[in-house]
Structures are given as structure tokens and as C-alpha cells.
A and B are shown apart, each in its own frame.
Chain A
Amino acid sequence: MPSTSTDTSVHSEGPRMTAPLLEVEALTIGIRRRGRDDVRIVEDLSFAIQPGERFGIVGESGSGKSLTLRAIAGLLPKGVEVLSGTIRYRGDDLGGMSAAARRKLMGPQIAMVFQEPMTALNPVVRVGEQIAEGPRRHLGLSRAAAADLAVEMMRRTGIPDPARRARAYPHELSGGLRQRIMIAMALSCSPRLLLCDEPTTALDVTVQHQVLQLVEELCDETGTALAFVTHDLAVVNQTCTELAVMYSGHRVEAGPVKDVFRDPRHPYTRGLLESAPDFDDPDRVLVPIPGFPPNVAQRPDGCPFAPRCRFAIEACTTAMPAQEDVGPGRTAACIRTHEIGSAAPGEPVEVLA
């Protein structure tokens, strides 16, 4: 789809000069503990999403990627809170807003698609009514107009026979259809920013394909920006243009997807790319990353990736590396990032004790 992708770049080129749609700055999310240090699950995280941009956040389980998305949506689990930092939406600080003001944003401005549609949908309300709720509340539509819009949204998300399906309950629909309902619901008020938390992980590969294509088309159509959290590098490659890689609550690398994939500048990004089987290159040797991520409550000093990093040196374990500039629009949090580009893949691994 070359024509649509150029559309997106046109969308994002203009406003880029002005202000980003979403700006996350030095965000720290964690759990306060009396008498002890706070558990900092996400630490000092910064990124910005431009209007119409498709932004991917990649990381393994426990890297804090989903929590970041939930913090933006104001849906952090009980006990977990934003400890410091700001989240600005169109220049307004979300943290400083009243709950009511924030609720007004959710729907017409920011919408979210969750991983498991069965738990995110209300099981005792017909799906048509669930989709119509947002437009009625936020756009002031009448019951009938909102119901029509719901059916129209379902039709646009590719649900066959939408008028009949609108009267179904979530349990009567398949996983793929439920996820489409979630997307129809999220897009019903034409939000400016769509937050997607692993929307296709629970789906089969042919259905995943349908859903990703749908998200891409609808975002192109309405100029909606996308914040897409996933662990699947290939999915990011196909849906996003910009990317942030998270490891143990830190942003370790960021930049345009194509550039990062072609020339990763953080050892962790590189490890991820080398360990994932690539369908187009089946003969490549997979290089696993040794060890496993640190417990966020006892994160080691220095770079959190140092214990698993084959490039680690003494200095890595003393201080958290700063974000180094490694190219146009690219950063990497590694003190040896300028040497990494030249190292051969699968080079002998040295693990610090």
C-alpha cells in the first residue's frame, strides 16, 4: 500500500513543526512503599508522538510497556502510580487534570484497544450498545443516531452482517470479531490518539493480519496517531514508523523503525533482532540473549542490561548510560553504542558474573 503510507507522512510532516500530540517526559511509574525505596517499574521514560504518527513500543514481558500505555490512559492498576514526570496531551498535563476532565478526553481524544477483548468488553451489554455509549456521551448523539453509528463502525471494521451482530453479546462472537468490536468502539468518536496494547497477541495469524490491516487503514483514513505496544518485532515493522525499545522500564533505543531494524545501536535491540526467527531468512542462526531481566525492585546499578550484555565493560555497571545521539531522530542508551555498529553478529558472549 504505497499510496497510503505516503499519506501518513504528509499527515505527520506538517504538524511536526508545531507541537507533538503526546509528550511523555521523564515518566517514572512505580509503587510507593512506606519506609523503603519505591519500586520504580518504569524509570525516566521520555518519548513524543506526532499527530498521525504510528509509534511502536517494543519490549519483553515486564519491561513496563503496557504500564506506560495505561499511565497515558489513566488506567494504572491500584497501588501503581506515576511517581514523577509528566504526560502532556496537546500541551496539557494529564497528571494535573481533574478526573472528570480526563474522562472527557478518553474517547473523543484518546482511545484504547486492549489485548484480551473478552475481559475488556462488558459481558452483559450488547456490543452495539457498548459501541454506541461513547458517541452518545461525548458527541451528544441521540440513542438512534448512536446505534446507527455503531452499526456503521462495525461495518467499517469488516464485521459481516453488522446490524445483526450489533445485538449480540460478546460471548457470542469469536476472538477476531471481539477485537474488531474493541476497535470499532475505540474509533467510534474519531480519537486523535489510539493506544493499542498487544491487540493481536491473542489472535490467530490470519485474523491478526486482518486486524492489523484494519488498524492501519482506519488510522490512515482518519489521521489518528497510533501508540502500539507489542513484543513482536515483525508486527512493529509492519504497522509502525517510529519505535521505542524498552528494557526493564527504561527506553534503551528509539528512532525510525526501518533505521533501527537495519542498524540497531543498543545491544538489547540487537539481541532481540538476532534471537527472533525471521521468516524471510530461515537459515540465519538464532543468537539468544543469555540470562533474564532483573527484578525491578532490585535493579542493579548502572545499565539494567549490563548483566546480559556481551559488550558490557566495567563502566557499564556504575551509572545509567545517557541517551546518546546515534543518527537522525535516533537515540540509544549505551555508552558503547558507537562501537556496536561494527561488531559482527553472534560474536562470543561474555557475561559478567
Chain B
Amino acid sequence: MSASTNATDGATATHPAHPATNLQNAPVLRAGDVTKRYQLPVTVIDRMRRSARTALTALDGVDLELRRGEVLALVGESGSGKSTLAKILVGSVTATTGTLDADGERVPLHRDKDASRRIQMVFQDPYSSLNPRISVGSMLRELLVLHHIVPRAEVRAESIRILNLVGLEEDALDAYPSQFSGGQRQRIAIARAIAVRPDVLIADEPVSALDVSVQATILELFARLQRELGLSILFVAHNLAVVQHLSQRVAVMYLGRIVEVADTDELFRNPRHPYTRALIDSIPRMGAESVTARLALQGDPPSPFDIPTGCRFHPRCPYAVDACRTTDPALTPVPLVLGTRPGGPSTVPTSAPGTDTTAAQATAPQAPHVAACIRSAELGDVDPLHEPAIEADDPALTRPDVLLDPERVVETDLSEVAPAAPAASAAHHQEEPSA
């Protein structure tokens, strides 16, 4: 415990750059309107066919903030661009357009040693992300010496301290990755990432390749690193049960866009984007007996070569109306319901600093729950966990039949519904701290 406190101190000491006020307000990492396009080479056959499939849009205008000390989960299906975003944040892929800010300062296109050090990554597959020919000790030594983390004389002691921090013993120093099991390798990968005392850890599906019984130990390790080192963690995942367990906030991605962001509890109780709701309804449950969902999606995600017009989710969306085919919705604030729920669990699921998260929300300029759907205000009244509808003042929020009946959805007049959302959001938001 004391050792880890030192690490925090050490990490802060190496960056005297950020003033104390900045720590509260500026997100530790912010992506602004990040776009990534992959241009495919045009072949002779393409020219003959006059094929237009030459650019793949992996990310299309992504805005995301990672707050200090939080675990932010990034979820979405394969092809949604979540790994691309992770790679852009860590600097291994360059964005086509857009900006990155760390602690309120612009991250240069070509990162210097210190900028790279501050954002570190843990990969999905610990079997391929570790060099099989380098022992754990020399791997750590290389990093510690390169980044001048500790004086040379203390490198060995520091390596042992890091290994202990991730739950490994000193004898791992002389071993090679092949001598470890999957869970232990993932610990080594995490040790490598935190050895250089980063501010941000980006973990790309770090438990997906592991067995269930081992998953839990790695999740606990992430929670501990957040708690003890104050690390800010972006946790890319597709398993919502894992996300719910570990993270304080969740961002949902669909086809290169972020479609919803909210506190974990709020998002799972009150999803305001149909895709989020479909994701939640699709989770295999330990409590349910059969594969049923109120909102099951049809079809597969569309190709990123050919993104639908309007809302990119409309071809699969059961609630889509004509306006969805033409309007590309932006992320807009939605009413918070969680704070008004009587007796409902309003705490953050992990033992992480729940109060800090609330404080961060109060000071953050961005509204705490945003969704990119023109009908998000209507989606609020039906609970994804199949509980009775939540009481709401807004008359538009008390029409469960509208959502369940696809025939009536088309007839709904949106003009009376949409403007209510921001006002309701503000009202609910003020009530929240007292609840």
C-alpha cells in the first residue's frame, strides 16, 4: 500500500505542469471531433467497375472525455471503431482529422517520449502482445531506464515493486512470457504499462481472451490500480456485465460514432438510445430462463464502407421514423431519471470514488447523460430491466404503448416531444445530489 502511494507521488512529481485547478476541471484526455478514414488502393478492377468502395470510415466525428481517476468503458460491436479510437488515443494510429488534449494541452501529432509515456496501453491478447524472447525483468528494465523513471541503481527494486503491485513475485523477473498462464501474462502486460507511471491506461478488451475464473482477478487488479494509483482508465470492452462491474461511466459506440454516454448506473437503468437498449436486452442473463428480449435487433451492423444516411442506426432501429432517415442526430443531453427514483440504487457499483464522480459531473461543462437519437426523450419511460415505468412530469414520457407498438411509432409527432428534453435534464440534474 505504501509502495503504491509512492508511485502516485512519483508520477505527480514528474509532471509539475498541471496546476491544481486544472486537475479538477480539465479532462485527463479529450478527443475532439476525431475522424479516421482508411483509403483503399484503387485497383484496375475497381476502375472498370467504377466501384466507389474506396474509403472506410472507421471513426466519424468522435468527441470523448476521460475524466481524472475514472474508469470509462467504451462498448460497441466489432467494427464500431472502438479499437481504432483506443489506438488513436495511445498514438499508434494517427487520426485523419480531429484533436487530442491531455490535461488541457494539445497532444502533438508526433509524440515525444514524455507524451507517449503518459498514455499507455494494455492489449487484448497477452499471448501476442509480449515479446517471447525478452524476459520480464529486461522488459521492465528497458522501460525504466529509457524513461528515467528511477536511477539505474534502483531499477531492480522498482521492477520488483511493480511486479508486486500487479500480483506477481520477484521470481518472475528472470522468466519469459511463455512460462506464464494467460492471466499472469495479462498481469505482465499491465506491469509493462504502469511501469512508466502513466496518467492514462487504455485497455483494449483486456479480459476477453481470459477464462471466467481468471477474468475476475484481472478486473480486481484494474479496480485496485484505479483506487491506489489514481489511474484514469479507458476500458474497451464488449461484455456489458464486465463493464457494469468495473466502470463509472460508459460510452456506447456504433459504426464510428459515439451514440450515448452516461454514468454506468444511469446508462443501464435509463438507456436513451435504441442501440444501447438493444445491447442491454441482448445480454445473456444469469436470471432469465430463455433467450428473449423486448428489443432484439434484426440484421448485422452495416458496412463501414457504406454508412447509412441520416441516423446510422436507422436500418436496424425498431423505433425509426422518417426523420431518422434524413437527420443525423448529434449527442444531446437527456433527462436524468436515476436521481429521482425513490429508493433506487444510486451509488456507483464499484468501491471507486463515487463522490468524486458526482463532483466531476457538477463541474463538468458537459451534461452527464447524452444520447444521439432524435427520439431519446420518448425512450426514457420504459425501463430496460423490465420494471414498471418511472413516473415523469413530462406527459410525453408516460406513453409506454408508443414504444412497444411499431405501428404507432411512425405516427408519433416528434415536434411536441423533442424540446422538452433539455429542460427536464436541467431539473433532474439539480435534484440529483440531494437524492
Contact = CB atoms under 8 A, between A and B. Distances in A.
Given A208-B282, A210-B297, A275-B216, 5 more contacts: A60-B213, A174-B300, A207-B77, A232-B212, A289-B213
A5 B291 CA distance: 11
A67 interface: no
Q: How many interface residues does chain A have, given as a range?
A: 35 or more
A282 B214 contact: no
A204 B238 contact: yes
Contact of B244 (A205, A210, A282): A282
Interface stretch (A81-89, A92-100, A233-241, A330-338): A233-241
Contact of A286 (B245, B298, B300, B301): B245
A84 B290 CA distance: 36
Given A160-B299, A283-B345, A237 B240 contact: no
Nearest to B347: A283
A61 interface: yes
A275 B289 CA distance: 20
A176 interface: yes
Interface in A181-240: 204-210, 212-213, 216, 231-235, 237-239
Interface in B272-286: 278-279, 281-286
A171 to B, nearest CB: 14
A311 B78 CA distance: 41
B241 interface: yes
A346 B282 CA distance: 29
B88 interface: no
B415 interface: no
B213 A272 contact: yes
- Most B CB within 10 A of own CB, among A5, A272, A289: A289
B283 A234 contact: yes
A276 interface: yes
B146 to A, nearest CB: 32
Contact of B242 (A238, A273, A277): A277
B291 A239 contact: yes
B47 to A, nearest CB: 21
Contacts of A158: 298
Contact of A60 (B211, B241, B242): B211
Contact of A278 (B268, B286, B290): B286
A229 to B, nearest CB: 14
Contacts of B181: 292
A175 B79 CA distance: 12
A5 B289 contact: yes
B183 A292 contact: yes
Contact of A233 (B282, B286, B289, B297): B286
A320 B291 CA distance: 37
B279 A205 contact: yes
B296 A213 contact: yes
Interface of B: 77-78, 181, 183, 211-217, 219-220, 238-242, 244-245, 268, 278-279, 281-293, 296-301, 345, 349, 385
A316 interface: no
Contact of B245 (A174, A232, A258, A277): A277
A271 interface: yes
21 contacts: A4-B290, A175-B300, A205-B240, A205-B282, A205-B283, A206-B296, A207-B300, A209-B282, A209-B297, A210-B297, A216-B291, A232-B212, A232-B284, A234-B241, A238-B288, A276-B216, A278-B241, A279-B286, A281-B286, A286-B219, A288-B214
Contact of B238 (A205, A279, A286): A205
A206 B286 contact: no
Contact of A206 (B219, B239, B278): B278
Contacts of B240: 205, 279
A48 interface: no
Contacts of A353: none
A153 interface: no
A273 B219 CA distance: 16
A4 B288 CA distance: 15
Contacts of B268: 282
Contact of B287 (A61, A272, A280, A286): A280
A118 to B, nearest CB: 14
A257 to B, nearest CB: 9
Contacts of A289: 213-214, 216
A60 B213 CA distance: 8
B211 A216 contact: no
A288 B291 contact: no
A312 to B, nearest CB: 16
B284 A1 contact: no
A31 interface: no
A174 B212 CA distance: 27
